[in-house]
Amino acid sequence: MLRAFPVVSRLPIPSPTSTQTTSVLSRMSSTAPSPKCPKFVPVEESTIHSISKPDGIRFSLVSYNILAQVYVKSSLFPHSPSPSLRWKARSQAILSVLKNLGADFLCLQEVDEYDSFYKGNMESNGYYSSYIQRSGQKRDGCGIFYKHDMAELLLEEKIEYNDLVDSILDGNRLDDDKPNNKEAIENKEDGPKIGSTLQSALDQRDPDDPCVRLKRDCVGIMAVFKLKNPSNHIVIVANTHLYWDPDWADVKLAQAKYLLSRLAQFKTLVSQRFDCSPSLILSGDFNSTPGDKVYQYLISGNSSSAPSIDFVDLPIPLCSAYATTRGEPPFTNYTPGFTGTLDYIFFSPSDCIRPVSFLELPEPGSSDLDGGLPNFSHPSDHLPIGVEFEISR
């Protein structure tokens, strides 16, 4: 991340009494610090008229970049306490957060150790899952975990953004906003990993060559669920992780356009095969702030929130669940090198679906953010976001 990050001052904390101090020290000596677990907060009644009495079926969805362990190095996170970065501590902290969130759907990014850890442990907590590993030599991927007593998986499709290279070979071109520079920037996600000689060779080729530029090994996954309640409502849940580099906005925008194109085709298929009007929710780490073109493009089909930028042929109208209720959070990623909002939950607006609560996030200056993430309170450099939706009867 290349943006400057202002140092956040610690909020004043009242001095504890001697009894409180003894209690705290006793707990610290016997147990490791517990991770923070946010709660769902109702939307203001002025926006949603029925909070206490549900008018329909409700389900919750959380999106969370959990930070793949393969990217956890002290050199990348020198601000983090070393014990909090170790896999044994982090894995249990992440599992604790996911379990305590209790969401019906968990859309996770940067999931490595899927077969060896997450799949089995999440099944023990009542979740089945679908997963796609990143292309090339990358070891992480995207997963959708769902409570099997809440939803039934009917169909899934996986997205590999490297398929965009085929569109270049077919004669299509990248957007005109490609920056005119040849610097290939590496970071924790997309640099050469674990001796990837082939990927290193590819990345050293001309980054202005579209066939090289678009081959970023990013992925996504789309799944169709039937809710296990009297409504039997059909919901499409999509989860993705777009390319990270802020200087390669053209690549991220190309990925976003391909994503929505695939989603539109998938929604049509689902509507015809199951003879329904499915709800659609898209979540993930989009590596784009609300002012970036990717975000503007994704919401440009929704007339109530459309930006001034002109996009054509948008296949699906979307709006951000946070933006339409409480506003986008000030940050979902929090490190000394960068702070900002990169993670979103979008939904296709209709008369039958609405957000009724959202997952709270820490306020700027919260003591649990001191020094930046990850730490003992937050096991990833990202924070989880979440929304509870209501489906009208």
- Give 226's DSSP letter: E
Give me the DSSP letters along 283-297. EEE----TTSHHHHH
Distances (CA, A) of 22 to 29, 35, 68, 376: 11, 21, 36, 21
What pLDDT, on the 0 to 100 scale, is given for residue 19? 46
Q: Who's near 48: CB < 8 A, 6+ residues apart?
A: 42, 325, 354, 355, 356
pLDDT in tens, 236-286: 999 999 999 999 999 999 999 999 999 999 999 999 999 999 999 999 999
Distances (CA, A) of 114 to 141, 219, 280, 285: 9, 15, 25, 18
What pLDDT, on the 0 to 100 scale, is given for residue 14? 42
Helix (H) or strand (E) holding 62, with range, is strand 56-65
Between CA 234 and CA 227 the distance in angstroms is 6
Q: Which residues of the chain have pLDDT under 50?
A: 1-30, 46-51, 175-176, 180-202, 303, 306-312
Count Cβ atoms within 10 A of the Cβ of residue 217 and give its class: 0-12 exposed, 13-18 middle, 19 or more buried. Answer: buried
All domains of the chain, ordered by start, with CATH?
40-44+54-168+211-391 (3.60.10.10)
Specify the pTM. Answer: 0.83
In the block, residue with structure tokens 């060559």: 209
Between CA 262 and CA 279 the distance in angstroms is 16
pLDDT in tens, 31-48: 567 999 999 999 975 444
What's the order of all strands across the beta sheet hosting 279-285?
A: 151-160, 219-227, 234-241, 279-285, 343-347, 319-320
